[in-house]
Amino acid sequence: MRRMNAPADFPQLAPIVDDLASQGWSHQSLALPAELTAALAGECRARAAAGSLEPASVGRGDGQQLREGIRGDRIHWLEPGQSVASDAYLGLMDELRERLNRELYLGLEDFECHFALYPPGAFYQKHLDRFRDDDRRAVSVVAYLNADWRPEQGGALRLHLAEGEHDVLPEGGSLVVFLSAELPHEVLPASRERLSLTGWFRRRGSGPL
């Protein structure tokens, strides 16, 4: 099996760190190599075809519920060793984690991540990424896997910033990184299937495990 390494040179690391320090969020276009983006998109679709993607829930633990009126995506969690492309992406995220810890002293310990497939018309209402009873999620990362996305197809990630709304189209290869507890956001409906990897860097928290 051919090994797909994370890129040796990841120039977006510095602007991501600078953006998080100055404004709490960052959008980097074409941050992922085209080969890796295409491989991850193919893996997501293959898992969907195999029935491995499950309806996403809201809440956590015993309080999890399926609420299609809140979110309509289907997800599959990544684990090390499950595919060449996934391992390459997780390696890239570990580079980002180390850089954030070194320069921003965030104390990030690990990373959890899942594929998210939104069928046409699906959405995710405005929310924060940190649970009320668990403060471990510190930094959110969304990587988009959609080739040739056009503005009229919708599906933007809408960030609710202090200065107003800001929409980010889910263009393939782009990354959005933001502080999990501080940035409300939502996913708008799209007219085509929308693929992404959504993940969180976590630190040791004070909430119950």
Angle at 101 between CA 97 and CA 105, to 5 degrees: 150
* Interacting residues of 191 by C-beta distance below 8 A, sequence separation 6+: 120, 121, 152, 153, 154, 155
pLDDT at 130 over 50: yes
- pLDDT on residue 10: 74
**85 lies in some domain:** yes
**189 lies in some domain:** yes
> Whole-angstrom Cα distance, residue 174 to residue 169?
9
Per-residue confidence band for 71, with pLDDT thresholds at 50, 70 and 90: confident
**44 lies in some domain:** yes
Q: Give the predicted TM-score (pTM) of the model.
A: 0.88
The CATH number assigned to the domain holding 103 equals: 2.60.120.620
- pLDDT on residue 172: 98
**97 lies in some domain:** yes
> Whole-angstrom Cα distance, residue 62 to residue 38?
36
Range of the domain at 170: 29-56+71-200
**75 lies in some domain:** yes
Q: How many domains does the chain have?
A: 1
**160 lies in some domain:** yes
Chain segment 16-25, per-residue pLDDT in tens? 999 999 999 9
Q: Is the distance from CB of 15 to CB of 26 less than 8 angstroms?
A: yes
**93 lies in some domain:** yes
Both structure tokens of 109: 């310990």
Chain segment 94-129, per-residue pLDDT in tens? 999 999 999 999 999 999 999 999 999 999 999 998
**9 lies in some domain:** no
State the distance between the two ends of the chain, measured CA to CA, in whole angstroms: 37
